[in-house]
């Protein structure tokens, strides 16, 4: 005979001997969140990694200097980024090979070595700047970088080298959560939403050189070579099957949209506060966070700092992985997150060396981060056209992609995207070199 336990006793027993039961609605909501996070992966991670410390500083500068005036660029960039990321995911699923491996097989070792050298230089510089971002974000709370950066570096190394691919991927997806701080900061800034909408659909263009440069910088920091390189290789390592192709493409598109919503939030937050109050020059993402305090309150500063921390940690983790993927694919070495050191010694050694060197340089007092980012900008500006050209040619190749090759409208948009972004990147390189 079953004995009924009074409801009060059940609640007391639950509270005393186990975790209290959640209401059915809250439990279902939490379950849906975990299911959603389980479906997300390389597409979201790669796109968000592009919103690193340098990217945040660029978006904050755009908002401070021109208010909402550059939001229209993000609408066009989102379309281009979504297509490029989708093609990288498709190539990874269809071929089972990373971008660097396909380049080596289709175009020879010389192009592969050139791309590898450029990626190593550019990614190392960006990785250093992101560890600087980690120190700067926690420095807002009064904690010195010399204490925080080594701990962050060790934690990232443990996730990549000691964990499995699935564990690392889940942690990287959770790194997307701090990005919501920028959305909340944008709301706290109390922007004029009608003016925001008008800036998107009816932009007011400027004829100055400074405006052109910030437009090019905004585009360049949103679509960077390591994003596609990581995404394609990660899709391969994830083991995505052909029947899952559409889902993977949708996830890559969602990642691009999410990342640029965050970028727009940064521009809106700084445009509604710094630009409105005449603060037009921002030297770094941390400086933008501090500058928000007088106009949007300390909560906006804290949210900006949290976002900077999450962004810097994610990028500092992804950059060594993307670099190691490219080098190992170009030279034919074994690769894979979660592999033992004996199974993939070169892959793991590159990640270890890059994290250690980046963290070490980042804690040197007075490290010239701005000069470093200028040099990286030049290398990335040269690398992006080559990267986009390879993606475009490989994605439309029947011998590589078979029936899944790109064609029609997507092919045309990708070709135009590659041409326009290549022109803008080379223009930025020319202006940067001329100004050195």
Q: Is residue 60's pLDDT more than 70?
A: yes
Would 21 be classed as within a structural domain? no
C-alpha 280/C-alpha 293 separation (Å) is: 15
Q: Which of 147-151, 166-170, 203-207 has the lowest mean pLDDT?
A: 203-207
Would 31 be classed as within a structural domain? no
C-alpha 297/C-alpha 302 separation (Å) is: 9
Model confidence band, residue 188 (pLDDT cutoffs 50, 70, 90): confident
Q: Is residue 252's pLDDT more than 50?
A: yes
- Tens digit of each residue's pLDDT (9 = 90 or more) over 394-418: 998 888 888 888 878 888 888 888 8
- Tens digit of each residue's pLDDT (9 = 90 or more) over 197-245: 998 888 887 777 778 778 877 877 788 888 888 999 999 988 888 888 8
Over range 39-58, report the average pLDDT.
Answer: 82
Q: What is the DSSP letter of 243?
A: G
Q: Supply the pLDDT for residue 259.
A: 92
Distance of alpha carbon 369 from the chain centroid: 19
What secondary structure does DSSP assign to 14-29, as a single string?
Answer: HHHHSPPPPPHHHHHH
Choice between 435 and 332, residue whose per-residue pLDDT is larger: 332
Q: What is the DSSP letter of 160?
A: I
C-alpha 94/C-alpha 396 separation (Å) is: 12
- 369, 133 contact by CB (below 8 A): no
Query: 403, 405, 312: which is closest to 359 by C-alpha?
Result: 312
Would 102 be classed as within a structural domain? yes
Q: Supply the pLDDT for residue 368.
A: 67
Q: Supply the pLDDT for residue 332.
A: 85
- 130, 315 contact by CB (below 8 A): yes
Would 193 be classed as within a structural domain? yes
Q: Supply the pLDDT for residue 290.
A: 75
- Tens digit of each residue's pLDDT (9 = 90 or more) over 316-340: 999 999 999 989 988 888 898 877 7
Average pLDDT of the chain to the nearest whole number: 81
Over range 157-178, report the average pLDDT.
Answer: 87
Model confidence band, residue 373 (pLDDT cutoffs 50, 70, 90): low
- Percent share of the chain, pLDDT over 70: 84
C-alpha 303/C-alpha 267 separation (Å) is: 14
Model confidence band, residue 15 (pLDDT cutoffs 50, 70, 90): very low
Q: How many CB atoms lie within 10 A of CB 165?
A: 16
Over range 59-67, report the average pLDDT.
Answer: 89
Would 13 be classed as within a structural domain? no
Crossing angle between the packed helical segments 24-39 and 165-174, to the nearest 10 degrees: 120
Would 125 be classed as within a structural domain? yes
What secondary structure does DSSP assign to 131-168, as a single string?
Answer: HHHHHHHHHTTT--HHHHHHHHHHHHHIIIIIS-HHHH
Would 29 be classed as within a structural domain? no
Q: What is the DSSP letter of 68?
A: T
Q: Supply the pLDDT for residue 13.
A: 42
- 173, 40 contact by CB (below 8 A): yes
What is the total count of domains within the chain? 1
Domain limits for position 355: 42-397+404-435
Over range 20-39, report the average pLDDT.
Answer: 48
Q: Which of 87-91, 102-106, 315-319, 412-416 has the lowest mean pLDDT?
A: 412-416
Write the CA distances from 181 to 34, 145, 247, 300, 349, integer angstroms: 20, 22, 27, 8, 34
Q: Supply the pLDDT for residue 372.
A: 65
What length does the chain have?
436
Write the CA distances from 412 to 23, 92, 148, integer angstroms: 51, 21, 47
Over range 294-313, report the average pLDDT.
Answer: 80
C-alpha 390/C-alpha 410 separation (Å) is: 16
- CATH number of 393's domain: 1.20.1740.10
- 316, 53 contact by CB (below 8 A): no
The tally of CA atoms less than 13 A away on the side-chain side of residue 54 is 32
C-alpha 380/C-alpha 229 separation (Å) is: 13
Query: 73, 75, 59: which is closest to 269 by C-alpha?
Result: 59
C-alpha 355/C-alpha 316 separation (Å) is: 8
Collapse the DSSP code of 81 into the 3-class scheme (helix H, G, I; strand E, B; otherwise coil) and give the result: helix
Choice between 112 and 129, residue whose per-residue pLDDT is larger: 129
Distance of alpha carbon 113 from the chain centroid: 25
Phi, psi of 4 (to 5 degrees): -80, 130
Would 313 be classed as within a structural domain? yes
H-helix or E-strand spanning residue 138: helix 109-139
Crossing angle between the packed helical segments 225-238 and 42-49, to the nearest 10 degrees: 160
């Amino acid at each position: 005979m079953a004995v009924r336990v009074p409801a009060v006793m059940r609640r007391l027993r639950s509270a005393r001997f186990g975790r209290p039961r959640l209401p059915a609605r809250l439990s279902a909501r939490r379950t849906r969140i975990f299911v959603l996070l389980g479906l997300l992966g390389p597409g979201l991670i790669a796109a968000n990694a592009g919103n690193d410390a340098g990217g945040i500083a660029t978006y904050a500068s755009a908002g401070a200097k021109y208010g909402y005036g550059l939001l229209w660029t993000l609408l066009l960039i989102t379309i281009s980024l979504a297509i490029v990321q989708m093609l990288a995911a498709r190539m990874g699923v269809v071929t089972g090979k990373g971008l660097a491996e396909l380049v080596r097989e289709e175009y020879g070792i010389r192009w592969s070595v050139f791309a590898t050298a450029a990626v190593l230089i550019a990614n190392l510089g960006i990785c250093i700047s992101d560890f600087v971002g980690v120190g700067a974000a926690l420095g807002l709370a009064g904690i010195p970088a010399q204490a925080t950066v080594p701990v962050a570096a060790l934690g990232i190394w443990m996730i990549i080298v000691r964990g499995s691919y699935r564990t690392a991927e889940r942690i990287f997806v959770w790194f997307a959560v701090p990005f919501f701080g920028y959305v909340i900061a944008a709301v706290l800034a109390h922007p004029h939403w009608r003016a925001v909408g008008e800036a998107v659909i009816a932009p007011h263009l400027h004829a100055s050189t400074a405006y052109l440069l910030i437009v090019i910088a905004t585009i360049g920091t949103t679509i960077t070579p390591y994003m596609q390189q990581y995404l394609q290789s990660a899709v391969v390592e994830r083991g995505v099957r052909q029947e899952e192709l559409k889902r993977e493409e949708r996830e890559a598109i969602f990642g691009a949209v999410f990342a640029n919503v965050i970028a727009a939030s940064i521009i809106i937050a700084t445009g509604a506060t710094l630009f409105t109050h005449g603060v037009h020059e921002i030297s770094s993402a941390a400086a933008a966070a501090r500058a928000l305090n007088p106009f949007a309150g300390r909560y906006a500063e804290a949210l900006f700092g949290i976002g900077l921390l999450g962004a810097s940690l994610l990028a500092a983790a992804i950059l060594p992985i993307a670099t190691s993927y490219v080098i190992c694919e170009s030279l034919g070495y074994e690769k894979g997150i979660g592999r033992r050191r004996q199974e993939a010694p070169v892959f793991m050694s590159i990640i270890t060396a890059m994290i250690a060197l980046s963290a070490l340089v980042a804690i040197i007092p007075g490290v010239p981060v701005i000069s470093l980012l200028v040099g990286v900008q030049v290398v990335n500006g040269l690398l992006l056209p080559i990267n986009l050209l390879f993606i475009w040619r490989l994605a439309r190749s029947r011998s590589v992609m078979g029936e899944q090759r790109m064609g029609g409208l997507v092919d045309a948009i990708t070709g135009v995207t590659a041409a326009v972004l290549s022109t803008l990147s080379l223009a930025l390189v020319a202006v940067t070199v001329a100004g050195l």
